[in-house]
Amino acid sequence: MAKSITEIQAKSDQKRGVKVKGFKLHVDDIALIEQASKNLDVSQAQLIVDAVKFYLDNKKPLN
């Protein structure tokens, strides 16, 4: 039996080690992410990952 598109996509995602992560964001924040992504010529996903890593590297500990 042929695999469905969903099954093919799930297998591909598992093979590549990726999974979908969704957020509800304010429309202004979405526009900011979209514009920054275009300006920096990186994907929105890469922009978010880089921003989180930068934040963690530069955030002072709370204690």
Residue pLDDT, tens place only, 5-56: 999 999 999 999 999 999 999 999 999 999 999 999 999 999 999 999 999 9
Break the chain into its structural domains and give their ranges: 21-63
User: 21-32 burial, b if ≥16 CB within 10 A, otherwise e?
Assistant: eeeeeeeeeeee
If one compares 36 and 3, the residue with the highest pLDDT of the two is 36
pLDDT tops 70 at residue 63: no
Rounded to two decimals, the pTM is 0.76
